[in-house]
């Protein structure tokens, strides 16, 4: 087995040296050497984020600017609407929106965040998909937009109920921001892009910062006693409790936004009868599911016991049937709830909250109840 230093294929974020200095336990993730936890451990990191403020390195994510060749910001929005089912034109300057790239079958190529910076759009995509996403944008939008990859920027997330007070010490504008506000801001005198959003269900911020300033800004935030560095382990358990999808697990090219329980993200203007209905890849399949329903649906699952039900576990209608009706896509222990939680897909006929199914775990059938999500209430600042 090769030593870590002999693995040149693993990329490093601008904060890699700081992770090592902070005692981060490093693991491969989406082609990067990333911290899965620090000395506090996943459980304490998770609970600290829920109670105070956690700082995450998400610099492996892709950051892209879409600049309209016409000089008209609306043209970039109209162009992007060819690739996503969301209303991009309606995103006001200084705001952002969750979206999905879809394929011709209605499947999800990736999910992303789109911000309107006035003169152009700023897009954040998933690490494992960023090369394909950039190629997808270039292949389809180069007639209308200059697609500018931003590899020299880091991205850090500050999450939790004390995130505002911690960031306010370095950014006077932070307290006035509301959930999904996104715009260029000065943070500790550094020109950054700041959004009030995140991936934990908590209030918080994501800060895009030039790579050369990333370590200094991170260290400045960590001087606040309320802020601890948090690894990928707690990031995953936090997003699972919040009922948030992980691309490649809970949604992928075989799932539509309707199957993925993401209808809320598709505005009426893009649905049948809307001002700009359809016009995006997979529109026929997706819009027909709005009218006729989908055969299956992503649901929350609460195992009836202490044993976690992990990704890949088959789901059955009863304790004795031989044919599975669905499967778990994410699962683990929810530290906030002190109980196991999971997500998965079931036929729509079995997807109602309160319904009972069974998961197969190590050869045994465990009772699982379909549950509403999020499992832990969101704490966004509206």
What fold is seen in the domain 295-377? Elongation Factor Tu (Ef-tu); domain 3 (2.40.30)
Residue 231 CB neighbour total at 10 angstroms: 27
Per-residue confidence (pLDDT) for residue 5, from 0 to 100 = 47
- The encoded tokens of residue 178 equal 């509301």
Give the mean model confidence (pLDDT) for residues 116-144: 98
pLDDT tens column, 220-243: 999 999 999 999 999 999 999 999
Give the phi and the psi of residue 174 in degrees, each rounded to 5. -60, -45
Percent of the chain residues topping a pLDDT of 70? 98
Q: Does the structure show a pLDDT above 90 at 1? A: no
- Say if 4-58+152-241 and 62-149 have the same CATH topology: no
Sequence ranges of the domains in the chain: 4-58+152-241, 62-149, 295-377
Per-residue confidence (pLDDT) for residue 86, from 0 to 100 = 98
Average pLDDT, the chain: 96
Per-residue confidence (pLDDT) for residue 3, from 0 to 100 = 40
pLDDT tens column, 311-343: 999 999 999 999 999 999 999 999 999 999 999
- The encoded tokens of residue 234 equal 């707690």
Query: Sign of the CA dihedral 286, 289, 290, 294?
Result: negative
pLDDT tens column, 185-209: 999 999 999 999 999 999 999 999 9
Cβ–Cβ < 8 Å for 103, 282: yes
Residue 98 and residue 116: Cα distance in Å, rounded? 12
The total number of residues written for the chain in this structure: 382
Q: Does the structure show a pLDDT above 80 at 182? A: yes
Per-residue confidence (pLDDT) for residue 2, from 0 to 100 = 38
Place of tokens 């939008």: 141
62-149: in CATH 2.40.340.10? no
Cα 368 vs. chain centroid, distance in angstroms?
Answer: 25
- The encoded tokens of residue 180 equal 């999904």
CATH assignment of 4-58+152-241?
A: 3.30.1360.120
Residue 213 and residue 177: Cα distance in Å, rounded? 23
Per-residue confidence (pLDDT) for residue 8, from 0 to 100 = 58
**SS3 assignment for the chain:** CCCHHHCCCCECCCCHHHHHHCCCEEEEECCEEEEEECCCCHHHHHHHHHHCEEEEECCCCEEEEEEECCCCHHHHHHHHCCCCCCCCCCCCCCEEEEEEEECCCCCEEEEEEEEECCCCEEEEECHHHHHHHHHHHHHHHCCCEEEEECCCEEEEEEECCCHHHHHHCCCCCHHHCCCCEEEEEEECCEEEEEECCCCCCCCEEEEEEEHHHHHHHHHHHHCCCCEEECCHHHHHHHHHHCCCCCECCCECCCCCCCCCCCHHHCCHHHCCCCCCCCCCCCHHHHHHHHHHCCCEEEEEEEECCCCCCCCCCEEECCCCCCCCCEEEEEEEEECCCCEEEEEEEEEHHHCCCCCEEEEEECCEEEEEEEECCCCCCCCCCC
């Amino acid at each position: 087995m090769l030593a870590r230093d002999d693995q040149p294929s693993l990329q490093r974020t601008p904060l890699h040296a700081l992770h090592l200095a902070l005692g981060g336990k490093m693991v491969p993730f989406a082609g990067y050497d990333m911290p899965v936890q620090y000395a506090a451990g996943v459980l304490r990191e998770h609970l600290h984020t829920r109670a105070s403020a956690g700082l995450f390195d998400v610099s492996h994510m892709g950051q892209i600017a879409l600049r309209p060749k016409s000089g008209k910001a609306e043209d970039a929005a109209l162009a992007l609407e060819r690739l996503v089912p969301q209303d991009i034109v309606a995103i006001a300057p200084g705001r952002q929106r969750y979206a999905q790239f879809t394929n011709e079958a209605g499947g999800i190529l990736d999910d992303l965040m789109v911000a309107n910076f006035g003169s152009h759009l700023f897009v954040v995509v998933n690490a494992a998909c960023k090369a394909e996403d950039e190629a997808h944008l270039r292949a389809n939008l180069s007639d209308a937009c200059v697609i500018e990859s931003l590899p020299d920027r880091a991205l850090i997330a500050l999450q939790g109920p004390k995130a505002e007070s911690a960031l306010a010490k370095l950014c006077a504008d932070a307290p006035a921001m509301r959930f999904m506000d996104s715009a260029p801001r000065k943070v500790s005198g550094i020109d950054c892009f700041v959004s009030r959003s995140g991936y934990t269900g908590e209030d918080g911020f994501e800060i895009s910062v030039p790579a050369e300033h990333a370590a200094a800004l991170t260290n400045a935030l960590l001087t606040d006693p309320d802020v601890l560095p948090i690894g990928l382990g707690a990031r995953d358990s936090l997003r699972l409790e919040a009922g948030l999808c992980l691309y490649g697990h809970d949604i992928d090219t075989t799932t539509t936004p309707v199957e993925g329980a993401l209808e809320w993200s598709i505005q009426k203007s893009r649905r049948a009868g809307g001002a700009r209905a359809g016009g995006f890849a997979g529109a026929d399949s997706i819009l027909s599911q709005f009218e006729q329903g989908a055969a299956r649906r992503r649901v929350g699952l609460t195992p009836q016991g202490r044993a976690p039900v992990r990704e890949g576990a088959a789901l059955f209608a009863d304790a004795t049937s031989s044919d599975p009706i669905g499967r778990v896509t994410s699962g683990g222990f929810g530290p906030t709830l002190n109980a196991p939680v999971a997500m998965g897909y079931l036929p729509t006929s079995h997807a109602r909250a309160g319904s009972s199914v069974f998961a197969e775990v190590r050869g045994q059938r465990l009772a699982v109840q379909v549950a509403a999500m999020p499992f832990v209430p969101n704490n966004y600042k509206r």
